[in-house]
Amino acid sequence: MESCQAKDAYIGQLHTTLQSAVPSRVAGFIAEPIQGVNGIVQYPKGFLKEVQEIIRERGGLYISDEVQTGFGRLGSHYWGFQAHGVKPDIVTMAKGIGNGFPMGAVVTTPEIAASLSVAMTFNTFGGNPLACVIGSTVLEVIEADGLMANCETLGTHLLLELANLRDEFEIVGDVRGKGLMVGVEMVQDKASQKPLPAQKMNQIFEDCREMGLLLGIGGMYGQTFRMNPPMCISRQDIDFAVAVFRVALQRQTRGR
Ligand SMILES: Cc1ncc(COP(=O)(O)O)c(C=O)c1O
């Protein structure tokens, strides 16, 4: 059987938390299949599957937050949880569901849904007909335009291009992600792996913005650029983005 040191260490931390900080029965566990705002952090193989087993043993539900990862963005699967072999009790979704229209949805089992009728719950805008039409149309367009396959092909292209920049520049510490959910972790140098300071991150960010590339910033220390472009992006758009990012890195490395 495969073993993974990181997975075992994180499972150990979960056990410590369960033993020391929560009651013996837990309500549930919620996680994104890849952490977005925390800097495109991927879990070790097998981690989420084992978490699900541990949480279920304690009577808890497994909730997959697919707000960023869902609707095919990861390329290989429509939902991020599918890549981890887990079967969530609840899935939350938003953002991509409406292609810019303000929408969100929660999908769950009939049994859990029925429990919501026990207490009074209501939602002023829930079931809005316009939102429902937009949501259905978005699903059709994702299918008709092959956007999940686009995420897989162009996401891989983006990762490979950025990996070249990682080899070229000392301040690019790591390039990671899946499909069109990509993170570039910036460091002071590869040996120390210390986060690139905020002022330098902001310079690169602003340089890119002025040249026409909008980036996201995430990570514990704000050290990771996040690239989650629209799923309909073209190869030319990706090449433009990488070229702009490269110029910004050159300026930063040469002291402007
Ligand atoms: C992973 C994740 N979950 C949930 C949310 C909240 O989404 P909403 O404000 O559409 O409910 C966000 C928003 O940034 C998010 O990134």
For residue 67, report the distance from its CA to the centre of ligand 1, in Å: 6
Report which protein residue has its CA nearest ligand 1's atom 5. 67
- Calculate the average pLDDT of the chain: 96
Q: State whether residue 152 is helix, strand or coil.
A: helix
pLDDT above 80 (res 9): yes
| Bridge partners, 217 (sequence order) | 225
Ligand 1 within 6 A of 67 CB? yes
pLDDT above 60 (res 104): yes
pLDDT above 60 (res 61): yes
The proportion of the chain whose per-residue pLDDT surpasses 90, expressed as a percent, equals 91
pLDDT digits (tens, 9 = 90+) for 193-243: 999 999 999 999 999 999 999 999 999 999 999 999 999 999 999 999 999
Q: Name the band, by pLDDT with cuts 50, 70 and 90, for residue 63.
A: very high
The proportion of the chain whose per-residue pLDDT surpasses 70, expressed as a percent, equals 99
Ligand 1: nearest atom to the Cα of 32: 1
For residue 34, report the distance from its CA to the centre of ligand 1, in Å: 13
pLDDT above 80 (res 256): no
Full-model pTM: 0.94
Backbone angles phi, psi at 154, to 5 degrees: -80, -25
For residue 35, report the distance from its CA to the centre of ligand 1, in Å: 12
Q: Name the band, by pLDDT with cuts 50, 70 and 90, for residue 105.
A: very high
pLDDT value, residue 119: 83
Structural domains of the chain sorted by starting position, each given as residue range(s) with its CATH number in brackets: 5-144 (3.40.640.10), 147-253 (3.90.1150.10)
For residue 118, report the distance from its CA to the centre of ligand 1, in Å: 26
